[in-house]
Structure 1
């Protein structure tokens, strides 16, 4: 072990040993099935070994953050405002960010005092398809320039400042577009989870970064070949499910592909778009995360890196 690494590293057993003694798990198998993403393998054992210690750890930090907020307000002789504890979750397409975000949301909400935990994905802050087409960057959807970063940062600032109600745009994966006129109200949660491939990215055009508003950040990591395989398998599953829906953006494009055609198509999309975005814009942000969860080929998390204070 490198004593001078900026991270403290744990293997799965070392991390699992950090969990408090619990007589029951915070999730049932049925609940876990509802939270898992398509083609995601997460077991109750994974919840116990990885997510239970992580939930306790974040609870500890969130409590300390609230206490610091009150101490600061007391020192300044000001009234403490309600500031949510914000967690950012980043990583590649198909690496399992959404599942991690949903698991944390469900488990943190069952913590001491049953805090209000909201979840927002940055997909809602993508420019609408019509705008992307007008800009000529529809084929770069998911790249930094395809997001309305100024609106996202405004949203983050409003939430962090304690604004009573902040509206978040909604994205439909079926329509493959932001839904015009549809928004979710974020009303002073105790904890807010922000999930997206771009949450840790640096954009020179703005004086603030999305991550400037984070209290804690997580990067979901895996070998590229594993992620590529998961992406192709997910594409094949979608071809037989969501793509069959006539309202799906991809219905006419991919629903009738044969098995070998689907694999070739998904492989080409990965090579031309997702792998390029991963290397240019996502993977370089890994070192900015407070916690890195490293997955193996079977989706299990086997290594954890925690940035030292």
Structure 2
């Protein structure tokens, strides 16, 4: 069963210890249901840590494009495990682990346009801790099972589900959905994905409570 990290400060202290003590690059996966607060935790950590040595790599850059999703008839399930370039993402994580003497570029997902922008982020050769952020880092099917063993630690973000769903609805509205459509997506597609993500909780090394 996962151990507990009581709050954001405990998570910060753990990364600071890696920066002080580790001689090798450390990869930490932050996992959570949609709206759980993965990005909130990552932003807090990055506000307290030296950016020349720590970076965040979001899984979301590996969303399949809207055109590809439409062609595959998966557009109404965007965010599900099979709507990502899983092999491409796993290859990136392998490179981050093994190629530590060169810069590695990766795509960033832009919510404003609902598409990814290539080579927008970079892991430099100076980076000592990489925070890999995503929903399916503990998923055990569809190619995702390759990811967990590439991480040094995996942290599951824990949050009250009512707060999480309310946050999701607000986010969908902020990015252009009508209120009823936002509610339907949060309680439909997002919730189906949330239940899938929850199944990976027992495989996490730590559970982090941030609310």
Q: Is the 8 A contact 2:29 2:151 kept in 1?
A: yes
SS class of match (1:184): strand
Aligned position for 2:44: 103
1:88 aligns with 2:29: yes
- 2-structure distance, mates of 1:60, 1:175: 38
Aligned position for 2:57: 120
- 2-structure distance, mates of 1:8, 1:193: 18
| CA displacement at 1:271 relative to structure 2 | 2.2
Aligned position for 1:222: 159
SS class of match (2:200): helix
Aligned position for 1:267: 183
1:284 aligns with 2:199: yes
Kindly report which structure 2 residues correspond to 1:1-309, keeping only aligned pairs within 5 A, or say none: 6-8=1-3, 15=6, 50-61=7-18, 63-66=20-23, 83-109=24-50, 116-161=53-98, 162-179=100-117, 181-188=118-125, 189-205=127-143, 209-236=146-173, 238=174, 243=175, 250=176, 254=177, 257=178, 262=179, 264-279=180-195, 281-294=196-209, 300=211
Q: How many residues align?
A: 209
1:164–1:201 CA distance, 2 compared to 1 (3 A) = same
Between 222-231 and 118-127, the greater mean CA deviation after superposition: 222-231
| CA displacement at 1:283 relative to structure 2 | 0.8
Gaps of 5+ in 1: 1-5, 16-49, 67-82, 244-249, 301-309
Q: Structure 1 length as normaliser, TM-score?
A: 0.61
The Cα offsets for residues 278-305 of structure 1, whole Å up to 9 and x where unpaired, read as 11x211111221111235xxxx2xxxxx
Q: Structure 2 length as normaliser, TM-score?
A: 0.87
SS class of match (1:169): strand
SS class of match (2:56): strand
Q: Is the 8 A contact 2:104 2:123 kept in 1?
A: yes
SS class of match (2:165): helix
SS class of match (2:109): strand
Q: Is the 8 A contact 1:171 1:177 kept in 2?
A: yes
Q: Is the 8 A contact 1:118 1:192 kept in 2?
A: yes
Gaps of 5+ in 2: none
- 1-structure distance, mates of 2:78, 2:186: 13
- 1-structure distance, mates of 2:57, 2:4: 29
- 2-structure distance, mates of 1:276, 1:165: 37
- 2-structure distance, mates of 1:268, 1:230: 14
- 1-structure distance, mates of 2:71, 2:187: 25
Aligned position for 1:303: none
